[in-house]
Amino acid sequence: MRGDQNNQQGRHAGTDQADDACPVVSIVEHMAEKYGMPVILLCDTNHVLRSEYSEVKVIGGGADAVDFALVGLCQKGDLVVTQDYGVAAMILGKGVYQNFH
């Protein structure tokens, strides 16, 4: 489920990723499903995320563990939805599309 996959219209379909503090998960999932994009939700062991559409990855606890996992996971062409400017700064040079909310 990486950026080299194509959706049904043959356009680029990067992976849409949202961090555990993202209050717009349902909107992200709705739009991703509409356009045939996979979604990966990241959360730490102190949060519970469930989704019928998205892949949920639980990251070990620790200060900023999810943030660093997200930075390591995202690739050029992915869309990352975050309200964390630190995460945005770390992924800026990777060619990742960002959406601040």
Give 13 or 33, the one with higher predicted confidence: 33
| CATH T-level assignment (fold) for domain 16-100 | Rossmann fold (3.40.50)
Determine the pLDDT at residue 101: 59
Cα 35 to Cα 61: distance, rounded to the nearest angstrom: 32
| pLDDT tens column, 25-78 | 888 899 999 999 999 999 888 888 889 999 999 998 788 999 999 999 999 999
pLDDT at 98: 77
